Chain A
Amino acid sequence: MTGETAPGEDGSPKVVFQNVSKSFGAIEVVRDVSFEIHDGDFIAVVGPSGCGKTTMMNMLAGFTKPDGGAVLLDGRPVAGPGPDRGVMFQDYGVFPWLTVEKNIRFGLELAVKRGMTKAQKNETVEKYMAQMRLTDFRNAWPKNLSGGMKQRLALARAYAANPRFLLMDEPFGALDAQTRSDMHDLLLEIMQAERKTALLITHSAEEAIYLANRILVVSARPSRIVEEINIPFGDNRDRDLLDSHEFIELRRHLRDVVMKQYAEQQALR
């Protein structure tokens, strides 16, 4: 934990993975994983592809349940998906039958948000549409957007629903390098304006270090946590950081750990 991220009011963890295990049929995907997420944390889970990282996120999102152990949210097991946990997917998940503006508005027009006034809803939509630089495209269909714009739209839609958590499953994996790095800065920008507790699944060491304040390295399948790395950069993250000695050292170390796991996974095949 870095100094400026606020812990929970009582300092207790908001999310607890308690000896979590999960299998799909005969394949054991996650084995005995335990970790905690505190309020304001930005945690990146890094590991070889196909290792079960996504399954870990899905259990917190409420898409799937653990076989053993428990995923606790504010002390209670996760019962299902809910608007307190926004999710971003690699495939964007923007609704193709709705325009940009209506995509962002979707979560606000649901029964859970009936407490908001019309003016508040409009204001929210406009705010995030502007923040994600989509205002000029408000009436565009998603089919006419680039990959980066679709992901910006997904982020705006997630933020508009005002979740406490932002869960991201390799959200930038399908983007080209330039768009990806723009998205990183846009994400940091909106996170600094409005902090969410975040969980990022990625296999990019650089992405993990640049965005997160804590990194969990997971092993080849079945996933176990093999190392936990604290990232000391706080809110001081910009492009210059990438060239700093400290960043390069961290990246070297993280790559080594991940490569080792990757080699083990290859050996298992």
Chain B
Amino acid sequence: MQRLIEFGWRLLPFAVVILIWYAVRWSGVVDQGLLPPPHLVFLDIWKRSTEGTFLLDAWVSIRRVLLGLFFGMLLAVPIGFLIGWNRTIRRFVDPLVNFFRALPPIALIPLAIVYLGIGEVAKVAILFYAAFFAGVIVMYEGMSQINPLFIRVSRTLGATDWEVFYKVILPLTVPHVLTATRVALGVAWATLVASELVAAQNGLGAVIQNASAFFQLTTIYAGIVAIGTFALIMDTMLRMASRRFLDWQERVVQ
């Protein structure tokens, strides 16, 4: 029962948004022809999933996000770790990271097309770029916040350099890895859609792009709803993982 109520609370905001959606449509503020009602959007998702390639497009997009995120974090964790830990490396890498981080990944899409073509490699490369720079910054901000007291204590108990690393620093890194992954995930989804809008035959971004060419507003909404839903599901999974692994952490709001 408790869980049911909890689940209800999760759904409530979305129910409210859908109600507002209907209200806007009925109020006539927006031309009814320009705002499809939610049930038609969901029907469109259903029909395209059962009869068309919608699920395949969704899977293509999810796979791109996961691959980009995986490779991005694979590099962001050790690099963020190093620049958070070593001053010399930080002084060298910090300006570069800030320069490349300030570049919107979307700006690199034309270059990616030139060098890597319009296939999967180009898209995953752009997502890798986006995930890496989003993740690396969170990693190293987190690393620089590690309390040196814990390192001192472990030294007085006899820990060697290696033991300090894997028994103290590593556990303290886990929360930052999870936060960095969440941030990178959000950035990866945003970048994915942009890159699929520009150049892709498949994926949810391409679905939206094709629909817009034929002015299929309902399908555009269907694509948007699907992207939001998948992004939310992945974020929720990460948050559940955080709660599972980071039971020990103090939280202001539990």
Contact = CB atoms under 8 A, between A and B. Distances in A.
B150 A93 contact: yes
Interface stretch (A48-56, A84-92, A190-198, A224-232): A84-92
Interface string B145-160: 0000110111111111
Given A107-B157, A110-B163, A97 B250 contact: no
A106 interface: yes
B2 interface: no
Interface residues of A, number: 31
A61 interface: yes
A143 B155 contact: no
B157 A157 contact: yes
19 contacts: A61-B156, A81-B155, A81-B156, A82-B158, A85-B156, A86-B157, A87-B156, A91-B149, A93-B150, A95-B168, A96-B250, A98-B171, A106-B167, A107-B158, A110-B163, A111-B160, A158-B156, A158-B157, A161-B157
Nearest to B170: A97
Given A91-B149, A111-B163, A96 B248 contact: yes
A123 B135 CA distance: 44
B172 interface: yes
A262 interface: no
Interface in A179-215: none
A82 B156 contact: yes
A97 B158 contact: no
Contact of A81 (B152, B167, B249): B152
Q: Which of the four size classes fits the interface of chain B?
A: 20 to 34
B157 A89 contact: no
Contact of B152 (A82, A93, A110, A163): A93
Interface of B: 149-150, 152-160, 163, 167-168, 171-172, 174, 247-250
Nearest to B163: A110
Nearest to A107: B157
A63 B152 CA distance: 8
Contacts of A81: 152, 155-156
Q: Which of B158, B163, B168, B250 counts the most A-chain CB atoms under 10 A from its CB? A: B158
A83 B247 CA distance: 29
Secondary structure dominating the interface of B = helix
A150 B171 CA distance: 20
A61 B160 CA distance: 16
A62 B158 CA distance: 12
Nearest to B164: A110
A89 B156 CA distance: 11
A80 B164 CA distance: 14
A93 B174 CA distance: 19
Contact of A89 (B153, B171, B174, B250): B153
B158 A112 contact: yes
Given A95-B150, A97-B172, A83 B248 contact: no
Given A83-B158, A143-B250, A89 B149 contact: yes
Contacts of B171: 95, 97-98
Given A89-B149, A110-B163, A111-B163, A97 B248 contact: yes
Contacts of B250: 96, 143
A106 B157 CA distance: 8
A142 interface: yes
A85 B153 CA distance: 11
A86 B149 contact: no
A172 B167 CA distance: 27
B245 to A, nearest CB: 10
A63 B155 CA distance: 9
